[in-house]
Structures are given as structure tokens and as C-alpha cells.
Amino acid sequence: MGLRTRLTLYYTGVLALTLLVFGLVTYLVMGRMLLLEADRAITAKADEVIRSVTVMHMPMMRFQRIILPNVDAFSSPGTYLQVVDLEGSIVGRSENLGLQDLPFSQDTIQRTTAGSGYYETVEVQGEKLRLYNRPLAVRDQVLGVLQVGRSLRPMTSALAYLRLVLLAGSFLALVLAATLGYQLARAALRPIIHLTRVAAAIGAGPDLARRVPDGGPADEVGQLAATFNSMLERLEAAYRNLEEAYAAERRFVADASHELRTPLTTIRGNVELLQRMGQGDAAILADMADEAERMTRLVNELLTLARADAGRHLRKEPVDLGKMAADVARQAPHLGKSRFTASLAGLNEAVVQGDPDYLKQLLLILLENAFKYTPAEGAVTLEAGESEGYWGLAVKDTGHGISEKDLPHIFERFYRADPARGRGGTGLGLAIAKWIAEEHLGRIEVSSRLGEGSTFTVWLPRGVPPSLEEEVI
Ligand code: ADP
């Protein structure tokens, strides 16, 4: 669930709870107040009746006459009156009662006359009445019970109306709050979503100099944008430093390799001179010549890789792959003692776009390796092939192969599998071969089994023959 939905749910929930508590309290207080108001009205009415009881003194006789008022005069719509004597006979009642009596029992009379009266809620013919039972006393003489009733219908309908208003109001408030809240949350989160998108784009792209827009107000989102930008700033600086260090290292390797070439040439020349003059220990001189040659190779390979790292690209021209492979095949038998065969018939009119010298170097690296890691009684083969859109050149050998453990690493710089050590070599050949293949938009595939031999296949995309190329232009 998104933050937007969660936020909306949270505060709609809180609002629903508040409305529930508020509605309940309002409803209960209102009910209580209306009941008190009814009680006050019937008490006032009862007082009025009591006040109008008159006592007539009869001087002739020893008793006095009590005249009860005509209770009907006190009634009004919804207010009913009834007088019951102590024997339980109704001695007066308001006419609006019709055929109905206000309910009373012996218990009512006892309870009323024992105290100062009480209120109760009764139901008469389905209508709720608030009833006040009050002792009818004159000069401390209790004569009966005065009952004043008042219909609770207005109160019930007022409460029903209030209930309706509260429910409908709450429902409307909730719908409104949820809708508006959702929109608000959306508006509030929009800058964050935008920020996330921009940040993701910067993270995925190569350009660390990009920044998220933070021209908005300095609120939480603004702070987030500023924090993110300062983080990017540091990242960019660190990356720049790293790039600079890397470039300096590349420059150093390139310069060092370049500078080493001249003294190495001199050393090799001098060793050769000594050998020709027959001076010095022949074995030591041969050793020196070998090592100087190995070092020259290493230096040249390092230079090639340093230039590749610096982003150097090869020049491209249409190359007749068949002819180039045939040239290399002619040199191949001199690379080692193993039997060598080449079948290049498949490369008739095979043209690729590339640098002929580097393509030759690529093939030579693979062939040199094949001879180097294959015993004299083994065989090395150079075969041609093709697959969808690619020309293939496969160098096969029946040498000692490459273990599964080493296979994923042989294209890494300076990686040499155990049996290869001590066989002369730099560990850079395949790294260069891979770079050359990739520069030509091709790839090298290798399959090998320990003890059985290896196959390295170079796949190069088919180029347009020079004659056709002109037509295309
Ligand atoms: P190296 O100068 O050691 O030959 P490479 O980069 O040319 O360096 O090759 C890397 C490693 O791959 C070699 O040291 C060797 O262990 C292994 N390798 C390459 N070609 C072959 C092959 N034809 N047969 C067996 N192992 C090979």
C-alpha cells in the first residue's frame, strides 16, 4: 500500500473516531437536556394546579371544604392531568385523555404519598409519556395524587432528527475528508515522486553532474533535494578523483612502457652483438636474449592495453579475412613443433571492417597459445566458419586444456593457469585478444577440457565488400 493511501486511511480513521465520540456525546447530552426540560414543564404545571386548590372554611360547621380545581383547565395539547384519591378512584382528569387514563396503581399512591413525588416514563397506547406523580396535599393533609403527564413525542422526533443529521453529516464529512485528503497527500508527495524519478535517472545514467531541481520552498522536500544534491556533489568529486587517479596510472603505464622500449632495444642489440662476436658465456647470453625479448613483448603488450584503456579506437577498413588468415597460417608452423593444419575454404570473399594488423595480432595470440600449451606430438588446427551475420575463425589444439576453475579468468590481465607458469608468456595475450575482438564488435568463445585440448573461436561481424560499399554510398 502506498504512503498516499496509508495517510488517507489514517486520518480518515482518526476523523471517523472523533466524529463517533462527538456524535454520541451530543446525542446523549441532548436527550438528557430534553428530558430535564419535560420534567421542568410538568413540575411547573403541577405547581400551578396545587396553587389553585382552594379551601373553604365553613364557620358554622366544624369542617372545611376543599375545592379541587377543574384540571381540564390546565391541560394543553400533549399535557395530561389526572387526580386520584387515596382510595384509588379517579376524581378528576383532563379531557384530552379521552377514554384513556394515566396509569397508576396502589403502589403509585403509596410511593407518592410517602415522599414528595417522583417522575417516571410510561407508555400509553404506544406513546411515550413523562409522568410526574405528586402528592396532592392541603395544609399537610394528603388528599390524593396529582398526575401530570407530558408526551415525549416531540423529544423523540427531535432526537431522531438529530441522529439523522449526525449520521449524514459524519458520512459526508468522512467522504469529503477522504477525497480531499487523498488529493492533498498526492499534491504533497508529488515533489518526492518527482525527486525519486530524477534521482533514479541520475543513478542509472552516466552523468553524475546532473542535479535534482531544488528551487522550491525550503521545506522537508526542499531539504531532501538539497541533501541529495550535496551527496551527488561529493560523489561526483570522489568519482572525478578516481578517474584522475586512474588516468594518471594509465598515463604512467603508457609512458613507462614507451620509455622502456628504447633501452630494451639497446640491450637486445648489444646481446646480439656479443653473441655474434662469440664473446661471453653463450648460455648466459642466450638467457639474456630470451628475457630481453620477453620483456620487450611485455612492454609492448602493456602499451597496447594502456592505449586501449585510454579509449583508443582502431581504424577500420575492409579486410579480406580469408587472405589475412592465410597469411597467418603460413607463419604458424614456425610457432611450434606440433602438427599444424588450416582449412580456410569457408572464408572465400569474407570481408570484415577492421584493422588488419590488429586482426593478425589477435589470430597470432591464439595460435601462439595453442602451440605453447600443446605438446610436440599434438595438433593445432585453424578452421573457418560462419554463423548468422558473423565470420568465425577457430583455433583448435589437442593440448592440456584449461580447467573449469581457470576458464572464467583466462581473459583477465596477468592471469595464468598453473601449468602455464614457467612457459614464457605474460598473461596479457588473451586480454589483448579480447579487446581487439570487441573493438571489431565481435567476441571470442572458448571451450576446453582438461587433458583434451581447447578451442578458441573468434566471431567477427560480416562487413560490406569494398565494391558494394561504394555502391551503397
Ligand atoms: P600467456 O602469456 O600466459 O599465454 P594469455 O593471456 O595468452 O597469457 O593466456 C592466459 C592463460 O590462459 C594462459 O596462461 C593459460 O593458462 C591459458 N591458456 C590460453 N590459451 C590456452 C590454450 N590454448 N591451452 C591451454 N591453456 C591456455
Q: How far is CA 11 from CA 6, 8, 184, in A?
A: 9, 6, 12
Helix (H), strand (E) at residue 275: helix 220-277
For position 327, which CATH number holds?
A: 3.30.565.10
Residue among 298, 362, 369 whose CB has most ligand 1 atoms within 8 A, to mutate: 369
Residue among 400, 416, 456 whose CB has most ligand 1 atoms within 8 A, to mutate: 416
Does a structural domain hold residue 323? yes
Label residue 179 by pLDDT band (50, 70, 90). Answer: very high
- Give mean pLDDT, residues 434-438: 96
The angle at the Cα of 111, spanning 109 to 117, to the nearest 5 degrees, equals: 95
Does a structural domain hold residue 38? yes
pLDDT, tens digit, 9 for 90 and up, residues 3-16 = 889 999 999 999 99
Is any ligand 1 atom within 6 A of the Cβ of residue 430? yes
| pLDDT at residue 63 tops 80 | no
| pLDDT at residue 446 tops 80 | yes
Q: Whose CA is nearest to atom 19 of ligand 1?
A: 369
- The predicted structure's pLDDT at residue 467: 53
164 and 112 in a single domain? The answer is no
Listing DSSP states for 137-153 in one string gives: EETTEEEEEEEEEEE-H
Residue among 413, 430, 432, 436 whose CB has most ligand 1 atoms within 8 A, to mutate: 430
Atom of ligand 1 nearest to the CA of 431: 6
| pLDDT at residue 60 tops 70 | no
- Give the type of residue at 131: L
142 and 194 in a single domain? The answer is no
- Give mean pLDDT, residues 65-90: 82
Structural domain of residue 335, as residue ranges?
317-468
- The predicted structure's pLDDT at residue 222: 85
Phi-psi region of 88 (alpha: psi -120 to 50; beta: other; left: phi over 0): left
- The predicted structure's pLDDT at residue 465: 57
195 and 295 in a single domain? The answer is no
| pLDDT at residue 472 tops 50 | no
Label residue 17 by pLDDT band (50, 70, 90). Answer: very high
32 and 161 in a single domain? The answer is yes
- The predicted structure's pLDDT at residue 33: 96
pLDDT, tens digit, 9 for 90 and up, residues 219-244 = 888 888 889 889 989 999 999 999 99
Is any ligand 1 atom within 6 A of the Cβ of residue 427? yes
For position 244, which CATH number holds?
A: 1.10.287.130
Lowest-pLDDT range of 46-60, 146-160, 167-181, 190-204: 46-60
352 and 457 in a single domain? The answer is yes
From 309, 325, 346, give the residue that closes a domain: 309
| pLDDT at residue 73 tops 90 | no
341 and 450 in a single domain? The answer is yes
Is any ligand 1 atom within 6 A of the Cβ of residue 410? yes
**Roughly how many angstroms between the first and final C-alpha of the chain, as a whole number?**
58
| pLDDT at residue 419 tops 70 | no
What Rg, from alpha-carbon coordinates, does the chain have?
56
From 244, 275, 309, give the residue that closes a domain: 309
| pLDDT at residue 424 tops 80 | no
Cα–Cα dist 157/305, whole Å: 95
- Give mean pLDDT, residues 133-150: 88
Does a structural domain hold residue 71? yes
Distance 420 CA to ligand 1 centre (A): 7
To 10 degrees, what angle do helices 282-309 and 429-439 make?
Answer: 30
| pLDDT at residue 57 tops 80 | no
Label residue 187 by pLDDT band (50, 70, 90). Answer: confident
Rounded (10°) CA dihedral 217, 220, 225, 231: 140
Cβ contact 11:179 at 8 Å: no
120 and 80 in a single domain? The answer is yes
Tell me what the pLDDT averaged over the chain comes to: 89
Percent of the chain with pLDDT over 90: 62
For position 74, which CATH number holds?
A: 3.30.450.20
- The predicted structure's pLDDT at residue 402: 93
285 and 416 in a single domain? The answer is no
Domain count, the chain: 4
293 and 436 in a single domain? The answer is no
- Give mean pLDDT, residues 106-122: 91
- Give mean pLDDT, residues 29-56: 90
- Give mean pLDDT, residues 446-465: 90
362 and 439 in a single domain? The answer is yes
| pLDDT at residue 460 tops 90 | yes
Most confident of 59-68, 202-211, 432-441: 432-441
Most confident of 105-119, 177-191, 223-237, 351-365: 351-365
Lowest-pLDDT range of 174-178, 369-373, 423-427: 423-427
Atom of ligand 1 nearest to the CA of 401: 25
11 and 159 in a single domain? The answer is yes
Phi-psi region of 280 (alpha: psi -120 to 50; beta: other; left: phi over 0): left
Is any ligand 1 atom within 6 A of the Cβ of residue 447? no
- Greater model confidence, 438 or 216: 438
- Greater model confidence, 471 or 363: 363
pLDDT, tens digit, 9 for 90 and up, residues 297-306 = 999 999 999 9
- The predicted structure's pLDDT at residue 43: 94
| pLDDT at residue 469 tops 80 | no
177 and 259 in a single domain? The answer is no
Beta-strand relationship, 379-387 and 339-343: parallel
